[in-house]
Amino acid sequence: MTDTAARQIASGYTTEGGAVTLGSVVVDGVADPAATVALPLSMVNRHGLIAGATGTGKTKTVQLFVEQLSANGVPVVVADIKGDLSGLAAPGEASAAISDRAARAGADWTPEAFPVQFVSLGTGGIGVPIRATISGFGPILLSKVLGLNATQESTLGLIFHWADQQGLELYDLKDLRSVIQYLTGDQGKADLKGIGGVSTATAGVILRALVNLEAAGGDTFFGDPELDPADLMRTEDGRGVVTAIELGDQAARPALFSTFLMWILAELFQTLPEKGDADKPELVFIFDEAHLLFADASKAFLEQVVQTVKLIRSKGVGVYFCSQQPTDIPRDVLSQLGARIQHALRAFTPEDQAALAKTVKTYPRSEVYDIATALTSLGTGEAIVTVLSERGAPTPVAWTLMAPPRSLMDTIGAPAITEKARASGLYARYGATVDPLSAFEKLRAQADAADRAALDAEAAAQQAERAREQARVEAQEQAQAGDGAGGGGDESFVERAMANPAVRSFLRSAASAAGREISRNIFGTRTRRRR
């Protein structure tokens, strides 16, 4: 009876083309190796969810999923939050436990390494540094990183628009900072007013948020050269290259990390052509710790995520979110996920029980399992699975014993990751930051030109004043010379002396010195001699 039920469930997972094999069906605590659970490659771009509490085997399921995709020639981008997935680059280590698990899961296990490209966000990481330009990142994603409210987000959008209209390229944080400083300074107040709806106070809040991000090291994420999405879609010897984005020391900025991943996905959406239905996806993108992406997200940000997830499958890209609870994913996004791989859930608190009840409702009805009971009874490395069949219909719910990964189920360590990254062909392209002519340099040159113009104007005014003084003196001297030639002058010796410029200059200096002495006596600033 157990074998019959298991194989009846597995019959809903039959595939004619390529597939990602997950494991075997479990009924009444017994796994049937002949009852295979698999996800058709043609349905992988319908997106999915991999969820489960800490310690339930979620990360190993992600590793297995990535291996299967790579083996089928599908490139994968995966966020390696904890560094556990670096083991994909090394063959696994055989053991009795792995052999037993593979036999019960119906898997033919042999150790195997996969082509992995290690990258890090910005400079200072352990992988090849990849970056985004500020203009490419855009105001909505940047607002998420900066923690701006809706009004501030709208203001930032207007600032981006103004910079674009003025031909001010925004490559890094100092470019955007210089634009805001210009708009809030004396020279740019008219421009700020002309943008419309932008207050100096709001612009100042954004500027402070930028300065804080820069001080925390966030400036290393932005700059040139910007990541080319084509570098994420490579194959080697018929296997898909796995791009593992290593977090490393950047764990202190998880919101920036997750938002950067969303930018990569948005770039893929913008650059890839329409593919329609295909035998397998062009690329699979896996968000680990997906709750970080949606925490404190604005309405505009969520709308962008939902739109991207809805439409990007037509570009041949599958998106998989990994989190502890399905409720971490917004409802509008969750409704777009065709595959569900749910590891054990905890139901210790009223909140956990409410989350469990909501999760149960997202699964098709099962005549074999009480899904609520099953979700809290799963062992490590077991999951409740339902995917889309080749004809697009949900498969029966399957309690699944997941097959073990073939690669190393441990980290290879930061030194090995760095060594592989430095040997990569991508390092020559992205290893060094380039600082091209952009808003910072243009506005600084404009300010320098304004300063030089002001100094030139002041010098010209002083020169004109000296010319006027010289002309007046010369005219007076000529008049005095004319009076002397006529012999009728009655001017005194003092008057003639005062007509002499040298005498006047001496008397002015003497008067100034006397004035200083008097002032010092009055204000008590004169230095007294010691007796």
CATH at 23: 3.40.50.300
Verify that 140 and 93 share a domain, yes or no.
no
Verify that 320 and 360 share a domain, yes or no.
yes
Percent of the chain with pLDDT over 70: 89
Verify that 200 and 303 share a domain, yes or no.
no
Q: Are 411 and 29 in contact (CB under 8 A)?
A: no
Q: Are 90 and 118 in contact (CB under 8 A)?
A: no
Verify that 185 and 272 share a domain, yes or no.
no
Q: How much is the average pLDDT of 138-149?
A: 91
Q: Is residue 479 part of a domain?
A: no
Single residue among 218, 242, 267 that ends a domain in this structure: 218
Q: Is residue 288 part of a domain?
A: yes
Verify that 324 and 272 share a domain, yes or no.
yes
Verify that 284 and 394 share a domain, yes or no.
yes
Q: How far apart are CA 67 and CA 403, in angstroms?
A: 11
Verify that 299 and 348 share a domain, yes or no.
yes
Q: How much is the average pLDDT of 184-210?
A: 83
Verify that 60 and 11 share a domain, yes or no.
yes
Q: How much is the average pLDDT of 346-371?
A: 87
Q: Which long-range contacts (CB under 8 A, 24 or more apart) does 202-208 make?
A: 202/151, 202/152, 202/155, 203/155, 203/159, 205/148, 205/152, 206/146, 206/148, 206/152, 206/155, 206/156, 206/159, 206/180, 207/177, 207/180, 207/181
Verify that 148 and 127 share a domain, yes or no.
no
pLDDT of 213: 87
Structure tokens belonging to residue 129 = 């540094």
Q: Is residue 369 part of a domain?
A: yes
Q: Is residue 421 part of a domain?
A: yes
**Structure-model confidence comparison of residues 467 and 44, the more confident one:** 44
Residue 385 has pLDDT above 80, yes or no: yes
pLDDT of 501: 61
Q: How much is the average pLDDT of 115-144?
A: 92
Q: Is residue 447 part of a domain?
A: no
Pick the range with the lowest mean pLDDT from 314-318, 420-424, 477-481, 492-496: 492-496
49 forms beta bridges with 321, 340
Note down the domain range covering 295: 2-131+232-428
Q: How far apart are CA 75 and CA 73, in angstroms?
A: 7
Single residue among 380, 412, 428 that ends a domain in this structure: 428
Q: Is residue 409 part of a domain?
A: yes
Single residue among 402, 428, 454 that ends a domain in this structure: 428
Verify that 378 and 288 share a domain, yes or no.
yes
Q: How far apart are CA 398 and CA 5, in angstroms?
A: 10
Q: How much is the average pLDDT of 136-165?
A: 92
pLDDT of 527: 40
Banded pLDDT at 529 (limits 50, 70, 90): very low
**Which DSSP helix (H) or strand (E) runs through 337?**
none
Structure tokens belonging to residue 367 = 């005549």
Q: Is residue 86 part of a domain?
A: yes
Residues near 194 by beta carbon (within 8 Å), at least 6 away in sequence: none
pLDDT of 504: 58
3-state SS assignment for residue 48: strand
Verify that 210 and 283 share a domain, yes or no.
no
**Residue 403 DSSP class:** P
Q: Is residue 505 part of a domain?
A: no
Q: How many domains would you assign to the chain? A: 2
Give the CA diameter of the chain.
143
The owner of tokens 């959008």 is 157
Verify that 317 and 361 share a domain, yes or no.
yes
